[in-house]
Amino acid sequence: MQSRDQSKKYLKNSGDILLLILAFLIAACLASRHAGIASGFFSLRTWKIYLLIFLCLSWNFSAKILGLYDGFRMRTLRIELFTVGKSIVLQVFFAVSFLFVLKTQELSRFFIATYFILLGISLALWKICIRRLFSWLRRKDRYLSRILIIGSGDVARSFFDTLSLNPHLSYQVRGFVAEQPQPGLESMHLGGIEQLARVLEREIIDEVVITLPNSSLKKIGQVIAVCENYPTRVRIIPDYFDFMSPRFEISRFGSFPLISIRANPLEALHWRFLKRCFDLIFTLCLFVGVFSWLWPLLALLIKIDSPGPVFFKQERWGIKNKRIACYKFRSMVRESRDVDENGHYQQARSDDPRVTRLGRFLRRSNLDELPQFINVLKGEMSVVGPRPHPTPMNLEAKDSIRHYQLRHLVKPGITGWAQVNGLRGETSDQDLLGQRVEADIWYIENWSFLLDLKIIWLSIWLMLKGDPRAY
């Protein structure tokens, strides 16, 4: 299965790159003639060749982070074309950035517009044609893998349903071999495991997929022994996949296969380095352009509004449960307490009497969170990530909320996926807190640089529009 998916991936990628090169050559030729410069179709100056190489590399980079060639995600043509559109937008961004640095008039806005149109049309037609090609091959049985499923449990049924819902993957289930027929699919029952050899003699089978429970090691061994006498590939689906998240990962350590039940892209050093570089650049730009005048103004207003310090410091939990001192602009009266007389943490709630007049504005606009960019500079927090919770709240929730501690696999953030999806504010409701935790885990498993940019944009939009959950 993996080799077939890899072949389709290489075919799609090669076709995309060839069309990209062709669109570039045509756009560059037309742009030169539009500028009154004589230019042949294949006559490229050195810097144009560098630009073309840069665009090819950036296409592969954007395709990887957007999952353009992930066959199981491209379930419909609409989704694939939408992802292609996002990749083309990134292409235009990279091209504009390159030309801005180069400051050339030869390839101007005319080139960008022409390149954008040619690339969009050609790639859309290519995606439609290649899907029709594979569809025609499936109908002719020339690109169809025939699968035999061993087992009749929940794993076997789930695998069958997945293949049935994704006909574009070009797999056909010829039947089941198991001690008991699959409920509702009795007509596809081909016999018991002792009859496997006869089935393989009678049927044309390309791949055998074993879905037996791990406790049936003897039967699994028997199935493998029989299958190795026939020209068929054998795959095994472990029956403990229910413990895995949808974003599990498979790797190899020496000769040992390893299955990570949850993905965490930020475990990779290069992605952590990219995220850290962005955090520093983004934060330093804010300090120079905005905080240099905004912070003194807010500090003065806080002092005028109520007595007490300008900043508020609170212990919270960061990555790996490390305690950090989290900074905020003070938005409550100086005498306010975090815990009540019973030792329970008091979350801020709507119309909280502890909040000052200016504090209500600071909290609604999220301006009270700005000092946490100090934590970003110190490397304790990131611009985007799960929001850090105070120590008392962590202690109360870590044993009562499922997967709560997984939030601390990455650095906490000033804003996060949960916050831009309305899961912020008071969380005395355990179900609401559970939803926030699940949103944080989804962010960790699906992290990408573009996702961070999207969250930052949505956070700014909510600040301008006003968030009803901010109090």
The residue with greater pLDDT, 262 or 269, is 269
Q: Determine how many CB atoms are found less than 10 A away from the CB of residue 180.
A: 12
Helix (H) or strand (E) run with residue 350 in it: none
**Averaged pLDDT, 210-216:** 85
At residue 470, the pLDDT reads 60
Take residue 56 and report the two structure tokens written for it.
């090819």
Delimiting residues of CATH 3.40.50.720 domain(s) in the chain: 145-243
Residue 444's pLDDT band, with cuts at 50, 70 and 90, is very high
Q: Count of residues for the chain?
A: 471
Using the predicted structure, report yes or no on whether residue 40 has a pLDDT greater than 60: no
pLDDT single digits (tens) 184-195: 888 899 999 999
Using the predicted structure, report yes or no on whether residue 243 has a pLDDT greater than 80: no
Output the CA angle 237-242-244, nearest 5 degrees.
90
Tokens 């030729």 found at: 29
Exposed/middle/buried for residue 443 (C-beta within 10 Å: 0-12, 13-18, 19+): buried
- Could you tell me if 452 and 430 are in contact, meaning their C-beta atoms sit under 8 angstroms apart? no
Using the predicted structure, report yes or no on whether residue 360 has a pLDDT greater than 70: yes
Could you give phi then psi for residue 4, rounded to 5 degrees?
-65, -45
pLDDT single digits (tens) 42-92: 566 777 788 888 889 988 888 877 777 765 444 577 888 888 888 888 888
**Averaged pLDDT, 163-181:** 84
Could you give phi then psi for residue 362, rounded to 5 degrees?
-60, -40
At residue 107, the pLDDT reads 62
Using the predicted structure, report yes or no on whether residue 426 has a pLDDT greater than 70: no
Fold assignment, 145-243: Rossmann fold (3.40.50)
Query: What is the C-alpha separation between 328 and 338, in angstroms, rounded?
Result: 14
How many contiguous H segments (helices) and E segments (strands) does the chain have?
15, 10
- How high is the mean pLDDT of the chain? 83
At residue 72, the pLDDT reads 47
pLDDT single digits (tens) 86-134: 888 888 888 888 777 766 655 677 888 888 899 999 999 988 888 888 7
For the CA atoms of the chain, what is the radius of gyration? 29
Using the predicted structure, report yes or no on whether residue 237 has a pLDDT greater than 80: yes
Take residue 44 and report the two structure tokens written for it.
């490229």
Using the predicted structure, report yes or no on whether residue 160 has a pLDDT greater than 60: yes
What do you get for the CA distance between the two ends of the chain, in Å? 52
The residue with greater pLDDT, 415 or 100, is 415
pLDDT single digits (tens) 315-339: 999 999 999 999 999 888 877 766 6
Exposed/middle/buried for residue 187 (C-beta within 10 Å: 0-12, 13-18, 19+): exposed
Query: What is the C-alpha separation between 54 and 41, in angstroms, rounded?
Result: 19
